[in-house]
Every structure is written in structure tokens, then in C-alpha cells.
């Protein structure tokens, strides 16, 4: 009989959910504004992780600095991707398929650049995190930092989206880009801002994942599938939908692993859980949680 | 009266498809001009070509004696051109008030935005009542008024309105048209497209009849309404 520490599983779900949320927010928001699934998003996560590694482990500057480095380097990559690849393609009339394939190409390109710089070997963070126990739950400083980052991100995004001129323009542009233009909004400028912020958050997500596990060039792809599952379960383009979906998938994955162990199945199947949720959503309710937040689920 | 907007020899369409063939329309100050014609005749395409939402293959757009051909949409809006599209003309995920705030986007001063929204509420009281309602939940008539309000917050010099009465009840349609009359009387020139030829011509000063992307008749609205031949041939009007 396996003894399960359910509270620990619950806490781990919050950790996983926070990671997926940071990874998915940019993916869903850029979809809302540019209308294609960006596979190169995986490398926004990877670059953040590697940049953070260099700062923390090679330059020994400490985690806060590697956090900033992840944020900035991925933001820059996001801006470059939009300005140099996707915006010019859109101007030339590229369809969703063209853009999607281009994003896969960009992903390969960036991943190989990363390999050139950091090598293909597995790297790991040596940094030791303080830990403490709350009742039966073991908590590390890294996990606290991850959950706090997600909470702060949600708070800031919520205020920006509902209270500011920029945020309202983001929601309007995602809902109806032509009408936004016909209201005097420079929709491409708004899209650029969203690409930058979304990529930066993905970079931070990648860094947390790397610090928690290890660092390999495919690290972004490992998170990309669950991130897409979050986007789809949350309703494509919906920020609040993604918020709920990230934690739902976090719970499903962590409790799923417990059941895999109970039924003596390989825990490798845990990677299939997000995939299963993705497929089930598409079959049963393609709009995901999006409709909870109004017509068409476009409540970014 | 002086001309405020003139679209000259417009050839417009989508991709490689030409929909509008060499059509010229003119809007003078303080006028309401209507473009009528059957479904698919190119009314929307013509209006969209002025704003850059359809492809302008040939021709010129003049506004206040400037050539504005090919300028970016958001710049045209800032120059005083208001546009209400035929479909998807409100932000369904935003509240009524947020729709008006986006309408006022080019204004940066918060108090100025508030003041102009409050003026729009005075003009259209129903919007004040529903200011916190999500636009997607409004009735068809309320939506159309919101679409108009969104443009009016900027006090444009001209209003391009595509199908003000489309799919509205007769009462809601008359209400929207009487608003358009008021707007014109307040000094804003209006160019609109209308499928309902009789109603459209009744409130306007001049009209153009578009058939298969070509202008088959232009003149004063009264003259067009009284021409039984034209009415029967192109507009489905009974004598
Ligand atoms: N986005 C588009 N892409 C390709 N063709 C289009 C597009 N929009 C309209 N068309 C075509 O252009 C032609 C004219 O359409 P348009 O919308 O201008 O007509 P309309 O006179 O406004 O009709 P309605 O009275 O139904 O609004 C139609 O044949 C239509 O199929
Ligand atoms: Mg039309």
C-alpha cells in the first residue's frame, strides 16, 4: 500500500500550475492578437533558462539577477521574433498555416543557436535553496519564488487589462483588430507589447523549470505541450481562462502521478496527462473555459 | 457647399478580385449621402476602400483637399474620419463604457475622455443606463447605437456608416436614422450605405445607386425616389 501525502500533492499542483501559467500566458495572448499558435514560444522559455543559468552559475551573481536576465533576454527574443519574422510575414499576407510553419522554423533556428552557445549537454543549477516544512508539506524557497511570481504576474496583468488604457486596447485589439484600428489604436504597437511581455514571462517560466530540474536544449518543448493544453482548456486568447486551466492541469498532473503509482504504471505517462486533457477539451468543449468569461471566450 | 470627401475613380476589391469598378462618390459639408444597391453590389467594399480595409487597385481618395490615398487606418481616424462597419461594429467582450473609452483612444487626457463620453451619454441616454453591460449582451438596436457612440466620442468631421439599419426592427431603424439626421445637423457630414433604399433615401440629401460594382445613377435623393423606372429596375421599390 502506498502512503500518499495528499497535502504535498496539492502544494506540488500549485507549483506546477504556476509554472504552466507563466509559460502559457504569452502563448494565449499572442494568439489573441496575432492569430496563430507560436511554436517558437518554446525557445522563449529555453533562452530565459540558459541566460539565467549563465548569470547564476557561470557569473555567480545570484538568482534575482538571473531572474532579470531571463526576463530581459526572452523579451528581446520576443520583440525580434515579432518585428523581424511574424510582422513582415503578416504584411505579405501570410495565413495561419504559413505563420505556424514559420514559427517551427524559427524554433529550430533559435534552438540550434542556443546549442552553439551553451552546448547540447545537460546542465544543472548547483545553487542550494533553503527549505522548510509546514505540517507535512515540504516547501523550498524556489517553489515559493515561483508561486509568488505567478501571483504577482496575475495581479499586475489583471490591473493592466481592466484599469489601463493599454490594457483595454489589448482586449479590444484581441476581440476585433479591425475595429480597434478604426478607433485609432495602433494595433501592431499593441501586439509588439504583448509579444514582449509574453516572451519575458515564458523566459521566467523556463528559468524556474531549469532551476527545479535541469537544463537541456529541449527544455522549452517539454513545457510547450502542457502550455498548449492550458491555452486550449482556458479558451484560446483568454487570460482568465488560462489562469484557471493552468491550475486545473497542475492538479490533474500531480494527482494523476499518484494514481499512476497506485496502479503500478510508469510515471512517464504523466506527460500524457496534459495531452489527454487537450484532446478531451477539443472533443467535448472546444471553447474551453473561455465562455465562462463572455461571448466567444475572448476576454483576454 | 464645399467638398469634404471625394473618392475618385475607385477600383477596389480583395486579393485579386475586383469588386468596385471606377466609381466616384463625393460628400459635401453638412450633407447626408447614401449609397444604395442590391446585396453584393459593392457598397461596403467602396466604403472600406476609403479606410484601407479593402484593396484600392486604382483611384484616389481626397479629404479636406488632401490626398489621403493609402494612409494607415488609425491615422485616418485621428484626422477626423469616423467609421462604423456593417458587421462586428462593437467590442463584444468590453463593457459599453469601455467601448466608448476605446473610441476615445487617440485622446490621452483622462478628463477629456470622461467629458466626451459623458456628452455621448447625453446624446444616447440608453448607453448611460447600460454602461456596465458587456456589449455582446446588448440588443441589436442598442448595439447599433453603441457603434455610433463609439465613433461620436471623437467628434469626427465625417461619418462613414455602413448599413445603419441592417437587421433592425422598424422602430429601432427609424431611431438610428433620426440620430443620423441629428448628427448631420450638428455639423458632421455623413456617407452611408443602405440596403433599405426607401428609408436611406428618405433621410439623405443625395444618393448613388451601385449595381455590380458600377454606379448606375446619382442624384438628389428626392429625384431618385420619384423615378419609378429606377426604383423598379434597381431598388425593388414598388410604385
Ligand atoms: N473579405 C472579402 N474577401 C473576398 N470577397 C469579398 C470580401 N468581402 C466581400 N466580398 C465580395 O465582394 C462583393 C461585394 O461585397 P460587399 O460587401 O461590398 O457588398 P454590399 O453591397 O455591401 O452587400 P450587402 O448589401 O450585403 O452589405 C461580394 O461579391 C462579396 O462576396
Ligand atoms: Mg455591405
- The beta-carbon neighbor of A176 closest among B53, B78, B88 is B88
Mean pLDDT over each residue of chain B, to the nearest integer = 94
For B159-168, write each residue's pLDDT tens digit: 999 999 988 8
Mean pLDDT value of segment B62-87: 95
C-alpha cell at B148: 455610433
Where are the strands (E) in chain B, listed by range?
A: 3-14, 17-28, 32-36, 55-63, 66-67, 81-84, 158-162, 189-194, 206-211, 214-220
As a whole number of angstroms, the distance between CA A232 and CA A185 comes to 28
Q: Is B42 in the pocket of ligand 1 (CB under 6 A)?
A: yes
Contact A179 B98 (CB under 8 A): no
Contact B93 A299 (CB under 8 A): yes
Q: Which helix (H) or strand (E) holds B164?
A: none
Q: Quick check: B234 pLDDT over 80? A: no
Residue A297 — pLDDT band, cuts 50, 70, 90? very low
Q: Which residue's alpha carbon is nearest to atom 24 within ligand 1?
A: B39
b/e string for B196-211 if b means 16 or more Cβ within 10 A?
A: bbebbbebbbbbbbbb
Q: Quick check: A265 pLDDT over 70? A: yes
Q: Quick check: B126 pLDDT over 60? A: yes
Q: Quick check: A300 pLDDT over 70? A: no
Q: Taking an 8 Å Cβ-Cβ cutoff, which residues of chain B contact chain A? A: 51, 53, 73-74, 77-78, 83, 85, 88-94, 98, 101-103, 105-106, 108, 134, 136-137, 150, 154
pLDDT at A293 (0 to 100): 64
Contact B136 A181 (CB under 8 A): no
Q: Is B39 in the pocket of ligand 1 (CB under 6 A)?
A: yes
pLDDT at B227 (0 to 100): 86
Please tell me the distance between residue B139's alpha carbon and the centre of ligand 1 in angstroms: 25
Q: Which residue's alpha carbon is nearest to atom 5 within ligand 1?
A: B14
For A185-237, write each residue's pLDDT tens digit: 999 999 999 999 999 999 999 999 999 999 999 999 999 999 999 999 999 88
Pairing of strands B32-36, B189-194: parallel
Contact A295 B73 (CB under 8 A): no
- The beta-carbon neighbor of B88 closest among A179, A184, A185 is A179
Q: Quick check: A295 pLDDT over 60? A: no
For A149-160, write each residue's pLDDT tens digit: 999 999 999 999
Q: Quick check: A38 pLDDT over 90? A: yes
C-alpha cell at A144: 515559493
For A40-78, write each residue's pLDDT tens digit: 999 999 999 999 999 998 898 999 999 999 999 999 999
- The beta-carbon neighbor of B102 closest among A168, A295, A299 is A168
Interface size between A and B, measured as CB pairs under 8 A: 77
SS3 content of chain B, % helix, strand, coil (to 5): 40, 30, 30
Q: Which residue's alpha carbon is nearest to atom 7 within ligand 1?
A: B14
Mean pLDDT value of segment A171-181: 95
| Domains detected in chain A | 6-297 (1.10.3470)
Q: Which residues contact B239 (CB under 8 A, 6 or more apart)?
A: B228, B231, B232
| Probe target for ligand 1 pocket from B10, B40, B46, B234, with the most ligand atoms within 8 Å of CB | B40
Residue A298 — pLDDT band, cuts 50, 70, 90? very low
Residue A270 — pLDDT band, cuts 50, 70, 90? confident
pLDDT at B237 (0 to 100): 65
User: Which long-range CB contacts under 8 A does A3-12 form with residues at least 24 apart?
Assistant: A4/A258, A5/A136, A5/A137, A7/A135, A7/A136, A7/A137, A8/A136, A8/A137, A8/A138, A9/A254, A9/A255, A9/A258, A10/A251, A10/A254, A11/A137, A11/A139, A11/A143, A12/A254
As a whole number of angstroms, the distance between CA B70 and CA B48 comes to 12
Mean pLDDT value of segment B69-91: 95
Amino acid at each position: 500500500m502506498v502512503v500518499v501525502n495528499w497535502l504535498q500533492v496539492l502544494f506540488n499542483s500549485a507549483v506546477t500550475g504556476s509554472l504552466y501559467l507563466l509559460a502559457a500566458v504569452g502563448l494565449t495572448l499572442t494568439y489573441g492578437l496575432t492569430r496563430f499558435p507560436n511554436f517558437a514560444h518554446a525557445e522563449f522559455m529555453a533562452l530565459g533558462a540558459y541566460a539565467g543559468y549563465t548569470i547564476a552559475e557561470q557569473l555567480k551573481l545570484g538568482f534575482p539577477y538571473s531572474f532579470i536576465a531571463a526576463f530581459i533576454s526572452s523579451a528581446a527574443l520576443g520583440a525580434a521574433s515579432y518585428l523581424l519574422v511574424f510582422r513582415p510575414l503578416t504584411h505579405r499576407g501570410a495565413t495561419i498555416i504559413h505563420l505556424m510553419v514559420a514559427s517551427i522554423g524559427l524554433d529550430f533556428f533559435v534552438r540550434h543557436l542556443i546549442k552553439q552557445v551553451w552546448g547540447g549537454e545537460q546542465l544543472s543549477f548547483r545553487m542550494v535553496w533553503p527549505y522548510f516544512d509546514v505540517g507535512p508539506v515540504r516547501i523550498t524557497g524556489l517553489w515559493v519564488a515561483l508561486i509568488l511570481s505567478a501571483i504577482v504576474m496575475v495581479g499586475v496583468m489583471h490591473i493592466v487589462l481592466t484599469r489601463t488604457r493599454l490594457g483595454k486596447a489589448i482586449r479590444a485589439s484581441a476581440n476585433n483588430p479591425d475595429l480597434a484600428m478604426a478607433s485609432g489604436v495602433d494595433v501592431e504597437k499593441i501586439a509588439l507589447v504583448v509579444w514582449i511581455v509574453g516572451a519575458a514571462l515564458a523566459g521566467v517560466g523556463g528559468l524556474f523549470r531549469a532551476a527545479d530540474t535541469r537544463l537541456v536544449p529541449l527544455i522549452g518543448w517539454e513545457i510547450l505541450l502542457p502550455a498548449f493544453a492550458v491555452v486550449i482548456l482556458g479558451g484560446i486568447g483568454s487570460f482568465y481562462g488560462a489562469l484557471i486551466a493552468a491550475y486545473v492541469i497542475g492538479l490533474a498532473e500531480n494527482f494523476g502521478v499518484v494514481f499512476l503509482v497506485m496502479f503500478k504504471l510508469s510515471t512517464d505517462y504523466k506527460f500524457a496527462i496534459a495531452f489527454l486533457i487537450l484532446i478531451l477539451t477539443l472533443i467535448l468543449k472546444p471553447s474551453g473555459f473561455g465562455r465562462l468569461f463572455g461571448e466567444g471566450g475572448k476576454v483576454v | 457647399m464645399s467638398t469634404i470627401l471625394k473618392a475618385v475613380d475607385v477600383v477596389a476589391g480583395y486579393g485579386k478580385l475586383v469588386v468596385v469598378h471606377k466609381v466616384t462618390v463625393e460628400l459635401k459639408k453638412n450633407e447626408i449621402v447614401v449609397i444604395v444597391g442590391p446585396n453584393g453590389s459593392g457598397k461596403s467594399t467602396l466604403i472600406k476602400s476609403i479606410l484601407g480595409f479593402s484593396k484600392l487597385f486604382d483611384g484616389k481618395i481626397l479629404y479636406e483637399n488632401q490626398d489621403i490615398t493609402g494612409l494607415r487606418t488609425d491615422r485616418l481616424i485621428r484626422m477626423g474620419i469616423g467609421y462604423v462597419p456593417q458587421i462586428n461594429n462593437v467590442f463584444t467582450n468590453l463593457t459599453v463604457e469601455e467601448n466608448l473609452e476605446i473610441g476615445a483612444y487617440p485622446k490621452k487626457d483622462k478628463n477629456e475622455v470622461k467629458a466626451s463620453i459623458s456628452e455621448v451619454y447625453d446624446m444616447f441616454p440608453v448607453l448611460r443606463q447600460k454602461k456596465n453591460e458587456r456589449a455582446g449582451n446588448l440588443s441589436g438596436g442598442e448595439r447599433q447605437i453603441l457603434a455610433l457612440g463609439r465613433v461620436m466620442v471623437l467628434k469626427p468631421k465625417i461619418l462613414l456608416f455602413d448599413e445603419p439599419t441592417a437587421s433592425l426592427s422598424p422602430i429601432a431603424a427609424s431611431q438610428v436614422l433620426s440620430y443620423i439626421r441629428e448628427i448631420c445637423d450638428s455639423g458632421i457630414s455623413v456617407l452611408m450605405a443602405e440596403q433599405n433604399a426607401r428609408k436611406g433615401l428618405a433621410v439623405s440629401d443625395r444618393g448613388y445607386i451601385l449595381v455590380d460594382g458600377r454606379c448606375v445613377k446619382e442624384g438628389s435623393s428626392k429625384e431618385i425616389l420619384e423615378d419609378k423606372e429606377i426604383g423598379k429596375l434597381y431598388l425593388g421599390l414598388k410604385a
